[in-house]
Amino acid sequence: MAKKKAKSKATVAKNNADTTSAIDLDLEAEVNRQLAKRPIPKVEKKKKSKFQVWTWVMAIFMVTVMAGSVIYAAISSITN
């Protein structure tokens, strides 16, 4: 009786593995077909405008000025 149960469990596990691999292959084929139907468009990187470049430069400048003022305030408060 125990041998029959073990054998039937092994058979069920094998059948599940077969159907899983078949489902995986079907899913892979479906994904490939959908991708072939509508390919992903290539995106070209745009050059940044002068306005964007200057915005970044001014932002970095403001951060360094603010950090410098905080350091200056800390040093001046320690010395006084």
Residue of 3, 23, 27, 4 lying closest to 15 (CA atoms): 23
Domain shared by 79 and 67, yes or no: yes
Task: Give the pLDDT of residue 42.
Answer: 83
pLDDT per residue rounded down to tens, the chain (80 residues): 455 555 555 555 555 556 677 778 888 888 888 888 877 778 888 888 999 999 999 999 999 999 999 999 999 999 86
Domain shared by 25 and 53, yes or no: no
Task: Give the pLDDT of residue 50.
Answer: 92
| Total domains, the chain | 2
Domain shared by 35 and 49, yes or no: no
Task: Give the pLDDT of residue 13.
Answer: 54
Domain shared by 33 and 15, yes or no: yes
Residue of 58, 40, 56 lying closest to 48 (CA atoms): 56
Domain shared by 4 and 39, yes or no: yes
Domain shared by 17 and 51, yes or no: no
User: Residue 14 is part of which domain span?
Assistant: 1-43
Domain shared by 24 and 50, yes or no: no
Rg over alpha carbons for the chain, rounded to the nearest Å, is: 33
Task: Give the pLDDT of residue 70.
Answer: 96
Q: Which amino acid is at 32?
A: N
